[in-house]
């Protein structure tokens, strides 16, 4: 059965390739944002999976609760410590961050920044909420806070099979993994794939999953694009669909206009046909009347007179 992709960079397609054999799996999505748009978990949710979402912004946390009532949503930031922190929200984007330097960079680029406060909690507290349940994938998308998140992962029995971490500086192609990757490697994870935005790590205890990585999404993944992701590909598909719909509407309009013109021509043709029939009937009546005259006694009796008058006119 085809997999429907919602993620911005097809992260869900790559994860599904590795984990499609798992039924009713479980995930933890840190920096979940919208429950549909750019969602890494949505495609899994539709396949019967469930998970735990972490989202510090009130707007997106509320959307997640409304859209996923059967999943737990934690409105907090994840990091090293447990306290209230300043959080810099950029409304209606996935760029909100707990890092002031990152927020200032966005502000300098014209973004509107709304400063709030959120609870900071360590990653091991999330693991405690999950208990002994198997975690099949963990995604970390925290706009500059990756190192703090991973530093809050102490020795634990929780062993997500796959960990996906956004690994470039916000809104850039500059790598950022050098600061935090050693933490993952030190606790038993191996780097297996980079998709241009995120890096993928597989637990050393799940080496069999490594074969699913190495190439990007392709035709053999049997997936379709939902059309909701804010990617260049999805945008191009949506734009093409919109253009085709506009062309269709324009053609329907032209056909309707042609139908009106043809109808008017048919009406005119019908009137012309009626007039022709009327004239033909008049002509037929005249021909009948003329025939009657030719056959009448008076016409025959006046024949000598008519002949004399024709000769008279000829020699006059």
What is the tens place of the pLDDT at every residue in 105-140?
889 989 899 999 999 999 999 999 999 999 999 999
Is residue 21, in this structure, part of any structural domain at all?
yes
The secondary structure of the chain, three-state, reads CCEEECECCCHHHHHHHHHCCCCCCEEEEECCCCCCCECCCHHHHHCCCEEEEECCCHHHHHHHHHHCCCCEEECCEECCCCEEEEEEECCCCCCCECCHHHHHHHHHCCCCCEEEEEEEECHHHHHHHHCCCCCCEEEECCCCCHHHHHHCCCCCCCCCCEEEEECECCCCCCECHHHCHHHHHHCCEEEEEECCCEEEEEEHHHHHHHHHCCCCCCHHHCEEECCCCCCHHHHHHHHHHHHHHHHHHHHHHHHHHHHHHHHHHHHHHHHHHHHHHHHHHHHHHHHHHHHHHHCCHHHHHCHHHHHHHHHHHHHC
Is residue 175, in this structure, part of any structural domain at all?
yes
Is residue 237, in this structure, part of any structural domain at all?
no
How many structural domains are present in the chain?
1
Q: Are strands 198-203 and 162-166 parallel, antiparallel or unpaired?
A: antiparallel
Of the listed ranges 41-45, 52-56, 252-256, the least confidently predicted one is: 252-256
Is residue 248, in this structure, part of any structural domain at all?
no
**What domain range is 159 assigned to?**
3-229
Is residue 263, in this structure, part of any structural domain at all?
no
pLDDT band at 174 (very low <50, low <70, confident <90, very high): very high
The pTM of this model reads 0.73
Residue 126 and residue 52 in contact, taking contact as beta carbons nearer than 8 Å? yes
Question: Across the strands, what pairs with 53?
Answer: 29, 73
Mean pLDDT of 203-225: 95
Is residue 293, in this structure, part of any structural domain at all?
no
CATH number at residue 154: 3.40.50.150
């Amino acid at each position: 059965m085809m997999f429907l992709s919602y993620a911005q960079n097809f992260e869900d397609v790559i994860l599904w390739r590795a984990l499609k054999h798992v039924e009713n799996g479980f995930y933890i999505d840190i920096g979940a944002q919208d429950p549909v748009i750019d969602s890494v978990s949505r495609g899994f949710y539709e396949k019967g999976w469930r998970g735990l979402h972490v989202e510090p912004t009130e707007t997106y946390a509320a959307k997640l609760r409304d859209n996923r009532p059967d999943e737990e949503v934690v409105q907090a930031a994840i990091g090293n410590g447990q306290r209230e922190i300043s959080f810099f929200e950029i409304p209606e984007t996935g760029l909100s961050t707990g890092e002031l330097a990152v927020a200032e960079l966005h502000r300098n680029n014209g973004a509107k920044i709304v400063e709030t406060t959120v609870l900071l909690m360590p990653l091991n507290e999330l693991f405690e909420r999950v208990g002994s349940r198997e975690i099949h994938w963990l995604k970390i998308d925290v706009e500059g806070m990756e190192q703090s998140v991973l530093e809050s992962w102490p020795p634990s029995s929780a062993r997500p099979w796959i960990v996906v971490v956004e690994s470039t500086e916000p809104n850039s192609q500059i790598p950022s993994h050098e600061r935090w990757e050693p933490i993952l490697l030190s606790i038993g994870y191996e780097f297996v794939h980079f998709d241009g935005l995120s890096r993928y790590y597989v637990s050393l205890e799940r080496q069999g999953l490594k074969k699913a990585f190495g190439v990007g999404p392709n035709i053999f993944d049997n997936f379709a694009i939902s059309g909701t992701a804010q990617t260049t590909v999805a945008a191009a598909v949506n734009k093409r669909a919109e253009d085709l719909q506009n062309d269709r509407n324009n053609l329907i309009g032209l056909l309707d206009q042609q139908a009106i013109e043809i109808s008017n021509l048919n009406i005119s043709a019908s009137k012309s046909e009626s007039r022709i029939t009327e004239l033909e009937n008049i002509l037929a009546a005249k021909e009948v009347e003329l025939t009657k005259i030719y056959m009448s006694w008076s016409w025959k009796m006046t024949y000598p007179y008519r002949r004399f008058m024709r000769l008279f006119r000829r020699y006059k």
